[in-house]
Amino acid sequence: MNQPVKAYVSWVAAVGSVAIGAAVAQCQFSHPVRFPVFFALAFVASMLKIRFPAVTGTFSCSCLFVVLGIAELDRTEAMLIAIAAAAGQTLLNVRGRATLMQLVFNVAALGISTSAASLIRSLAVAWGANSLLALLSTAAVYYAVNVLIVSGALALLHAKNMERMWHAWIRWTTPAFIAATAAAAGLFLTNPMFHWNASMLFVPAVVVFQVWYRRLLATRFGIGR
């Protein structure tokens, strides 16, 4: 790993540590049912990964539960869910052994993305936005910040143009993220209090889409599963 990559990872880790520390320091736990459910589902869902042609890195449908956590839960709870998602994506169902630097970077990247999205959600609510608009704004910022951070790391790691890497990552990950966001919006609108009913069918629906999308890429581009 070259020096620019190490410097970039160190910068992301430093900013991510501040974001995570600020959220955890608030120590807010107001959802005894939804928080452990989202936490566990985010960790398990991180095992389902999609790999893409022309770019390294993976995408997992754990983002569904991170976005829901940001939109519905306290800041501390949302951050812990993001950490679970990052840890699961780094350590579970991976090719080869993950390094400590990869784990630190992924946790920090999601920490920064979650913090930025939480800020936008707070602003949207303060400005009187309805629940759906606040959720969509939250998801958009979470995705944009995460893509920017990951693209920067991949561009430095593979000595490629940052703009081209960003466009490639957007191209391949957008369908999967839109599916996850649509499921989050549907679940949020039909069942905002998270009672156990038919609205939870949105969860397997997005998982089915992710599996289909992964197989489509594997078939057309020969990407290993």
Instruction: Going residue by residue through the chain, which has 225 residues, state the pLDDT in tens, using 9 for 90 and above.
Output: 678 888 999 999 999 999 999 999 988 888 888 889 889 888 888 887 777 666 666 777 788 889 888 988 899 999 999 999 999 988 887 777 888 999 999 999 999 999 999 999 999 989 988 878 888 899 999 999 998 998 888 888 776 767 777 777 777 778 778 877 777 777 767 665 554 444 455 566 666 666 666 666 666 655 544
Dihedral sign for Cα 137, 85, 93, 212, please. negative
List the CATH number of the domain containing 126: 1.10.1760.20
pTM, 2 dp = 0.82
Domain that holds residue 147: 3-221
* The total number of structural domains that make up the chain: 1
What pLDDT, on a 0 to 100 scale, did the predictor assign at position 80?
Answer: 96
What pLDDT, on a 0 to 100 scale, did the predictor assign at position 177?
Answer: 81
What pLDDT, on a 0 to 100 scale, did the predictor assign at position 12?
Answer: 96
Measured between alpha carbons, how far is 62 from 101 in angstroms, rounded to an integer? 21
What pLDDT, on a 0 to 100 scale, did the predictor assign at position 118?
Answer: 94
3-state SS, the chain, equals: CCHHHHHHHHHHHHHHHHHHHHHHHHCCCCCCCHHHHHHHHHHHHCCCEEECCCCCCEEECCHHHHHHHHHHCCHHHHHHHHHHHHHHHHHCCCCCCCCHHHHHHHHHHHHHHHHHHHHHHHHHHHCCCCHHHHHHHHHHHHHHHHHHHHHHHHHHHCCCCHHHHHHHHHHHHHHHHHHHHHHHHHHHHHCCCCCCCHHHHHHHHHHHHHHHHHHHHHHHHCCCC
Q: Which amino acid is at 178?
A: I
What pLDDT, on a 0 to 100 scale, did the predictor assign at position 48?
Answer: 77
What pLDDT, on a 0 to 100 scale, did the predictor assign at position 196?
Answer: 43
